[in-house]
Amino acid sequence: MNGHIDGDVVRVGGDARQRFHDSRGYGYPTDGNAIALAPVEAAHLLYRGDLDEVDGMDFRAFVRDATGDGFVPRFLVYADLRERGFYVSPAREDWLQHVSAGNADLIVYPRGKGPGDGEVAYHVRVVGERQSVPAAALGDCVLAVVDEESEITYFETARTDPSGTADIDLPSGVDADLLADRVVCWEPPARLYESGFYGTPLAGRDADHDALQLSLVEAAYLAERGAIELAGATIRDRGRTVEGDRFGRRLRTYSELRERGVVPKTGFKFGADFRTYAEFEDIDEFGHSELLVRVLPAGHVFSPRDLSLDVRLANGVRKQMVFAVADEDSGEPPTWLRVERLTP
C-alpha cells in the first residue's frame, strides 16, 4: 500500500481508514475510506512495512527527506510509545477529538484507549538533548528527551505545593556576629537549633550549643523576624555581595518554605540549594528529607542534561526533585515544579 505527500500530511486511500485508523489509531479520516497521516505516522507505517512507499520513497528515503524541525526525535519517541503498547496521536489541534493538544507534540492515550475516547494518559513534549526547554513550558506534560545515542528518557513534570507541619516559637534579639559569608549566634536558646533546626552548632552536633553558625539565608530570615540582633538589611546586603541576585531568590524560597511549615537545610551535598523536611519536630528524632530544591530565576531555560543530572541524583537518594522558580522583582512567591523519571 502506498501514500502520497500533500502539504504537511501523507494521504492514503484504499481501505486505509479501516486498516490504520479504526483498528490501530493512525491518522485522521478524510473522505470515504481515505485517511491523512502526520509524517511520523507515515514513517512508522513505512518502518513496520504496513506502507510500502510514499511518493516512491521507502522508509530510509522518507526519513532522509523529512529531517527538518525535530522530525527524528519525534519519530523515535512515537515509535517507542507505540512499541510500549500505546496509541499515540501527533498533537494537531484540528485532528484531536475531545482532548486538547496543550503544548505537547504527541498525545498518548491510556492503554486500551485511542483517539475518540476522550482520555489522555500523557501529553508528551519531545526534545533532543541539545535543545533547551523553558521551565515555563513544563508542569503539565511529560518531557521525552532523545539523547545523542537516540535513547529516550521520560520526565513527568507537575506543579507542586510543598507544605509541612514544622512550627517554632522564635526567640528575639539573640546576640550574633556577621563573619564574612556566615553568621555566628552566641549563647542562643537551645530551641533555635533543637526545635527549629536553624544553624549548625560550632563544634558539631554533640557539643554544647553555646555557639550556632547560621547560613546567610537562615540569618536573614531570622533577622527579619527580630530573632537575632543583626539588621536584616545588613545580612541581605552581604548576601547580595557574595551571591548576587541569586541570594534574593534563595531567601525568598527559603522564607516561603519556612512559612509553609517546611524546614529547609542546605542541599550542598546533593548539589542543590536546599533539602527539606516536612515534619521536623525535634533534632533527636527527625527523619529523611523529602525534597531537593533548586532555585531558578524566572525565565530559566533547562538544558536537558542538567535536568537529567538533578533528577537522577534525587532519585538515587530517594527524594523528589523540585525547582523553585522565583522572580527577583515581582514580590510573588516562587512557583514550584516537580520533575521525576517516568517509565510510560
Chain residues that interact with its own copies, rule: CB under 8 A:
47, 60, 63-64, 67-68, 70-72, 79, 83, 128-130, 145, 147-151, 153, 177, 179-182, 184, 186, 199-200, 202-204, 211, 213-218, 242-243, 265-266, 268-272, 304-306, 308-310, 312-313, 316-317
321 and 314 Cβ atoms separated by less than 8 Å: yes
Q: Collapse the DSSP code of 9 into the 3-class scheme (helix H, G, I; strand E, B; otherwise coil) and give the result.
A: strand
Q: Collapse the DSSP code of 233 into the 3-class scheme (helix H, G, I; strand E, B; otherwise coil) and give the result.
A: helix
C-alpha cell of residue 136: 515555563
Q: Of 233 and 309, which has the nearer Cβ to its own copies? A: 309
Q: Of 33 and 131, which has the nearer Cβ to its own copies? A: 131
Least distance to its own copies from the beta carbon of 262, Å? 16
Quote the CA–CA distance of 164 and 262 in Å, as a whole number.
5
Least distance to its own copies from the beta carbon of 97, Å? 30
Q: Of 138 and 146, which has the nearer Cβ to its own copies? A: 146
Judge whether 265 counts as a catalytic residue: no
What's the Rg (C-alpha) of the chain? 27
Residue located via cell numbers 527523619: 287
Least distance to its own copies from the beta carbon of 310, Å? 7
| Element of type H or E holding 324 | strand 320-326
Judge whether 288 counts as a catalytic residue: yes
**DSSP one-letter code for 174:** B
Angular region, 56: left φ>0, alpha ψ -120 to 50, beta rest: left
C-alpha cell of residue 273: 540549594
Q: Of 256 and 310, which has the nearer Cβ to its own copies? A: 310
**Residue in 47, 193, 254, 277 annotated catalytic:** 277
Q: So which residues are the catalytic ones?
A: 277, 288, 319
